[in-house]
Amino acid sequence: MVRSGEIEPGEDVCFAHRYLAQYYLKNQRLAEADIHAHKCCEYKDTKNEGRALVRQIAAHRNSESNIKNSMSNMRRNLFQNDQSGSSSTQKRTRPGQGDASDSDMSFS
């Protein structure tokens, strides 16, 4: 027996899954969002929205993956540039040493 104001088992569950999928997506919790988006696809009332959410989640994952790959490539390039720069045979001098303009200055 269901009292007034109580939700029957299964009633509006699809909308709860939709809400949770949107909430988790907004908060970048993609694993949880994906679970609830797929649950939306199981119900007639939220099937299309669930599919759209699944696509949005996939797009977020792809963009995150692209960002991580770009950052990894940048770090690798910086490391390689640093390694090649440290092995150069250029003689480094401190300011004021070896500069013709500095050695010609006289103070009176």
Q: What is the pTM of this model?
A: 0.57
Q: Please tell me whether residue 60 adopts helix, strand or coil conformation.
A: helix
Q: For 29-65, what is each residue's pLDDT tens digit?
A: 999 999 999 999 999 999 999 999 999 999 998 888 7
Nearest Cα neighbor of 44 from 83, 10, 7 is 10
Q: For 70-99, what is each residue's pLDDT tens digit?
A: 887 787 787 777 777 655 445 555 665 555
Q: What is the CA radius of gyration of the chain?
A: 30
DSSP labels, 6-51: PPPTTTTHHHHHHHHHHHHHHTT-HHHHHHHHHHHTTSGGGHHHHH
* HSE toward the beta carbon, residue 105, CA cutoff 13 A: 7
